[in-house]
Structure 1
Amino acid sequence: MQTQESGVHYSRWDDSSRDEVSMTTTSRAEEASCCSRIFQKLCTGKLGIVMKVLGGMTLFWIIFILGYITGYYVHKCK
C-alpha cells in the first residue's frame, strides 16, 4: 500500500478480483481537470470540427492579407 502523502490510495480486496484506486484532488489537479474539460469541449466532436475550420480560415486570411501588404510595398513602383 502507498502512503497517504502521495495523494493516491491503492487497496486490494482479498475476497474479490476488483482493485480499488482512489485519488485525492489538489488545486493543481482541479486546474488540470478544468483545462481538460475545456479541451474536450472545444476540440472534439462537431464543435471541435467547427473550431478547426474557423481557425484554419482565420489563419488563411491573416497570411493572405500580410502577403498582399508585403507584396504591395515590395513591388511598388517608384
Structure 2
Amino acid sequence: MDSNTAGAQYNRWNEDNINLNVAGTDPLFFTDIIRSVLRRVYNRYCTGTLGIALKVGGAVAALVAVYMIGYVTGYYVHKC
C-alpha cells in the first residue's frame, strides 16, 4: 500500500470541523431545575432527625400493610 494513500485516508477521518452545538439549549435547562428541586426535597426529608422518623414510619407502614395482606389472603384461603 502506498504511504500517501494511507495518509490521505487517515487525514480524512482526523478532521476537527465537527460542530456539536445544539440550537435551543440555554445554561439553565429544565432538568437542572428538576434536579435542584429533588435535591432540596432529599435534603429536607431524607436526612437528619426528620429523615430517620420518616424512614421508621415508612417501615412500620409497610410492615402493617404486609400483615394485613397476609391476614386477608389467609382468611380467604382457609375459609372452607
- Bigger Rg over Cα: 2
1:58 maps to 61
TM-score by length of 1: 0.65
> Could you say which structure has the higher helix fraction?
2
> Could you say which structure has the higher strand fraction?
1
Unmatched runs of 5 consecutive residues or more in structure 1: 6-23
How many pairs were matched up?
A: 56
Higher relative contact order (CA 8 A, sep 6+): 1
- Aligned amino acid, residue 36 of structure 2: S
Unmatched runs of 5 consecutive residues or more in structure 2: 1-20, 22-26
TM-score by length of 2: 0.63
Q: What is the percent sequence identity of the aligned residues?
A: 38
